[in-house]
Chains A and B, each alone.
Chain A
Amino acid sequence: MKPAALARLCAAIPLPTGVFLVAAGIYVILKLVRPVIPHSVILLYMGFVVLGLVIHVTLRDERMHRFAEFFVQTGAGQPRALRAQRLGLLAVLPLLFGWWVYDAYRPRYAPPVEIFQRHPTVGEEVLGRIAVPDWIAAAPAQWDAGFVSEGKKLYDANCAVCHGEKLDGQGVAAEGFRYPIRPANFQDPGTIAQLTLPYMYWRLTVGGIQNQFNSAMPRWVAPPDNPDVSTLHSYDMNGDEAWKVIAYLYRATGHEPRR
């Protein structure tokens, strides 16, 4: 269709119909994106879209009147298409609101949506006690290649099954975890690049499986003052080995720990 013809078509569409079509169109597009966009985010986006449309309609008095008149004007001489649109919108909008209310309150068997925290909060009293070895506290370029190489071996043996050999969260066991979170993709700039070394050490050694952090990550180092801890994989690494794995994660992804 030529632009002029498109402009004529747009001009011929009554304002409320146009507003409805824009909102519905954006909603459908958002719904079609794969992987699916969570409902909470679509709701957020649609809130902005509706706000934008309200602003558009109310920016001029003439537009506001045109919008309102569409719903109140009647007359036998009106084109049938116009009447059909008015009746259609007057029917569809209440039905949509009704559906949303019903959908929000209908019984569900799925677990409720949880607000997930990507990086669990840990107190300064914990992080402040973690001593970072001098060799890893130095600039990443100065890290001992031998330590990084040992880290790789440890990672491949213990971590790659979930986090993947390419550190992209695509390990062979990764498909077993989905809700609320898959194994982290360390290549993503939103993961280890955002974190400091003490936090990384804490996250690795405390894990999440028994710490209410909504993560299947086991703890990889048992604290020396808690020998009775029975979590899976405890004592599989000592503290030095954990630091080597951390060094490997940063070296292999090209990210640097946050200072």
Chain B
Amino acid sequence: MLEQSPAASARRAAMVLIASALPGLAVAQGVPPPLPDYAAPALMDSRLAVWMAAQLHLMFAAFVLAVPMFALFIEYLGWRTRKTDPAAARRHDWLAHEMASLLPVAYSLTAITGAALGFLLFTAYPRFMHYLTGVFGPTFIVYPLFFIAETLCLYFWYYGWQRMQGERKWLHLVLGLALNVFGTIVMFIADAWATFMMTPGGVDAQGRLVSLYDAVWNAGWMPLNVHRLIANITFGALLCSGYAAYRFLLAGTRAERALYDWMGYTGNLIALFTMLFLPFAGYYFGFELFAYSATYGVTLMGGVLSWLFIIQAIVIATLFIGAAYYSWLGLLRIPGSERQQAWSSVFNVLLIAGFMVWATPHTMAASLEESTGGFHPVLGALGVMAPKMIAVTLILVVLYGSYLLYRRAGKVITVPWGRTGERIQWSLVGVTALAITALGIYGYFAPAEVRIRTSIWQIIVLMGGIVATFILDQFLMRGARTVAEVQWGRMPGRGQYVLVALAVVIVWLMGLMGYARSGARLNWHVFGIMEDTSAGAGLPSLGEAALVITLITAIFFALLAVGFYISALARGDGAGAADLESAGLLAEGERA
């Protein structure tokens, strides 16, 4: 199927150049020998070895890409208030630095797992990597340059934190911004390789490169970029929250608990906010995949990988419910929030009911006695896209409602039109929910093309409702009187265990979806262009896949724990008395 293109020798030279620059690659200089199709350098099924290395690398890469994004944002928030509220500025700066402190070791682990992945790919799949290098040769040269730039920025940003305070803070922020820009570019380049394997573009029917631009900007590239950007932030934020929860539980003083409670809360809030967009980003990616080839749609949604999405639905439900539960528990920090706490139980019922619909399978696993032979007349209707879209979008409305309530806890609205404003606000939330439901019901009976359009309208209505009520909320809460301060550190211990559990769940979920994305290619290295004819080309059973994903999760946390331990050794125990005292999170008389 594949033929040598005219520029093959140049690309081959590029491959040798890159390969020799990467540690551990045994590619000889000069004229390379004929490439074998497959090898087993890890003395095990190469697909399994690559799967584990790739997933671990992706997890660490996601972490080191995401944390600088929100750490920089928090640092910026602090910098903005340096004159009006110096205590808040110090607090935000501490939080940003605390989150960034997890990065250096995680960055090393990203590089180590990346090197392992590169070694495995080049040695186990030489013919495939030769082809990929032939197509993406120039990007293979640009990629390390951006990677080096990102590395330099990271280390200067983190280790220059204290030096670049005060007048030079702006320089530190610019450095952080450059770090994020370079990091995003690195991810976008790697995404081009990954999505080319799924939705190849820029090549002819024989796989010869026609346009590098089209090969990079293939059908799946931008959807995956968007999806990964958002998911990475959720991932990083929940890992930071898990770390904060761990520190909270070990904290020896109330002051330390207060700081890590705030860190956990902030991480969870960031995760919840980005999770609002994740289902739609995932849907956008899936939509583009289906548009590229209907085989993906059938494989993922009705075929061999369809049960992964039932598992995914349950895991995502756990994630959302856990994050919501944590935020409801957060009301316990605020004295006088009983009115808001009463709503938590109502939201709980709505959330559980919504997720029951969301997780309902279309085709059910039934015994001989239970089988109706077709779709269940009642529950079968819940198993298709339209009701699931209604459920998930309404769940997001409920989560947003929880956020609005949290903002009101311990506060009294003082604007004269407050009562009317609140009525309008909650009516808008209700109208949004009704419109989403009506669109979903209409979409259920409409053809697929119309259904897809109505689902997009559901998202637009949701976003419109959120933006309108949020803007209204800014005016409503302006000048609101605080009757009870948030008592940081008063969070129950069970809330911290939830944060740790959420960190595990998001890692496992990422493993699951990583497998689904890659497994959807079935027996193709490059879909429709280059077939995988190795002995390990088949898909594992669901149980085996779950075991491997669990193993990857365990290895990830083991490596992360070692990394954090090393990081803690460098910093000493505790959050630093001076930091804690200056952070100003505690009310007078609360310092232990």
Contacts and interface: CB of A to CB of B under 8 A. Distances in A.
A118 B363 contact: yes
Given A45-B356, A125-B531, A117 B363 contact: yes
A36 interface: yes
Contacts of A199: 294, 298
B447 A193 contact: yes
Given A128-B528, A258-B297, A113 B366 contact: yes
A259 interface: yes
Given A59-B329, A113-B366, A115-B542, A189 B445 contact: yes
B220 interface: no
Nearest to B446: A189
A188 B375 contact: yes
A185 to B, nearest CB: 6
Contacts of A37: 364, 370, 376, 378-379
A258 B332 CA distance: 50
A111 B369 CA distance: 10
A126 to B, nearest CB: 9
A39 B542 contact: no
A255 B332 CA distance: 52
A180 interface: yes
Most chain A C-beta atoms within 10 Å of own C-beta, residue among B294, B341, B345, B444? B294
B306 interface: yes
A78 interface: no
Given A114-B365, A118-B306, A124-B527, A196 B294 contact: yes
B120 interface: no
Interface string A104-129: 00000011011111111111110110
B361 interface: yes
Contacts of B352: 48-49, 51-52
B492 interface: yes
A44 B374 contact: no
B309 interface: no
A115 B362 CA distance: 12
Interface in A11-50: 33, 35-41, 44-45, 47-49
Interface in A45-63: 45, 47-49, 51-52, 55-56, 58-61
B566 to A, nearest CB: 35
A118 B524 contact: no
Contacts of B303: 117, 119-122
Contacts of A185: 374-375
Given A113-B367, A120-B303, A189-B444, A179 B373 contact: yes
B367 A110 contact: yes
B367 to A, nearest CB: 5
Nearest to B352: A52
B274 interface: no
Interface string B379-408: 110011000000000000000000000000
B360 interface: yes
B449 interface: yes
Nearest to B492: A61
B304 A182 contact: no
Interface in A159-206: 169, 177-185, 188-190, 193-196, 198-199
B361 A41 contact: yes
Contact of B448 (A36, A120, A258): A258
A199 B305 CA distance: 17
Contact of B384 (A59, A120, A190): A190
Q: Is the interface of A mostly helix, strand, loop or mixed?
A: loop
A40 B364 contact: yes
A183 B375 CA distance: 11
Contacts of B359: 44, 48
B447 A255 contact: yes
B55 to A, nearest CB: 22
Contact of A169 (B345, B370, B374): B374
Interface string B322-358: 0001001100100000000100110011011001100
A48 B318 CA distance: 9
B492 A190 contact: no
Contacts of B81: none
Contact of A190 (B293, B351, B375): B375
Most chain B C-beta atoms within 10 Å of own C-beta, residue among A38, A114, A123? A38
A102 B340 CA distance: 44
A49 B360 CA distance: 14
Interface string A226-259: 0000000000000000000000000000011011
A143 to B, nearest CB: 15
Nearest to B520: A121
B335 to A, nearest CB: 13
Contacts of A177: 373
B295 interface: yes
Contacts of B369: 36, 110
B445 A117 contact: no
Given A110-B367, A115-B542, A119-B298, A48 B317 contact: yes
A66 B360 CA distance: 34
A189 B370 contact: no
Given A44-B314, A190-B383, A118 B362 contact: yes
Given A40-B365, A118-B306, A35 B449 contact: no
A195 B367 contact: no
A38 B345 contact: no
A149 B111 CA distance: 64
Contacts of B482: none
B356 to A, nearest CB: 5
B582 interface: no
Given A180-B366, A258-B448, A60 B376 contact: no
Given A61-B332, A194-B297, 9 more contacts: A36-B372, A38-B371, A55-B348, A56-B345, A113-B367, A117-B306, A189-B444, A190-B383, A196-B297
Nearest 6 A/B pairs, CB to CB: A182-B373, A119-B302, A121-B303, A52-B352, A38-B366, A196-B294
